[in-house]
Amino acid sequence: MIKNKLPWPDNARCAVAFTWDMDADSILHLAHPERAGHLLSTQSSLRYGPEVSIPRLCEVYKELEMHQTFFVPGWCMERYPHTVDLLLEHGHEIGHHGYIHENPVQLTRETERHVLERTLECFRKFTGSHPKGWRAPVNGFSGHSLELLVEFGIEYDSSLMGDDIPYVLECSKGSIVEIPMYVTADDWPHFMHCADLSFEMPISAPDDAKKVYLADFDAMWEHGGLWVGVWHPFLSGRIPRIQMMVEMIHHMRERGGVWFATLGEISDHVRKAISDGSWSPRIDAVPYDPEPIGDLNHLQ
Residue-level pLDDT at 292: 81
CB 171 within 8 A of CB 286: yes
Q: What is the mean pLDDT of the chain?
A: 96
At 165, the amino acid letter reads: I
pLDDT digits (tens, 9 = 90+) for 73-115: 999 999 999 999 999 999 999 999 999 999 999 999 999 999 9
Distances (CA, A) of 154 to 125, 157, 206, 289: 17, 8, 35, 23
pLDDT digits (tens, 9 = 90+) for 139-149: 999 999 999 99
Count of Cβ atoms closer than 10 Å to residue 255 Cβ: 14
CB 258 within 8 A of CB 252: yes
pTM: 0.96
CA 35 from centroid of its chain's CA atoms: 28
- Structural domains in the chain plus CATH codes: 9-97+158-166+180-279 (3.20.20.370)
**pLDDT above 70 coverage of the chain, percent:** 99
**101 φ/ψ sector (left φ>0, alpha ψ -120 to 50, else beta):** left
Q: Which of 165, 157, 135, 162 minimizes the C-alpha distance to 226?
A: 165
Banded model confidence at residue 299, pLDDT cuts 50, 70, 90:
low
Per mean pLDDT, which range of 166-170, 180-184, 216-220, 286-290 is the poorest? 286-290
pLDDT digits (tens, 9 = 90+) for 223-267: 999 999 999 999 999 999 999 999 999 999 999 999 999 999 999
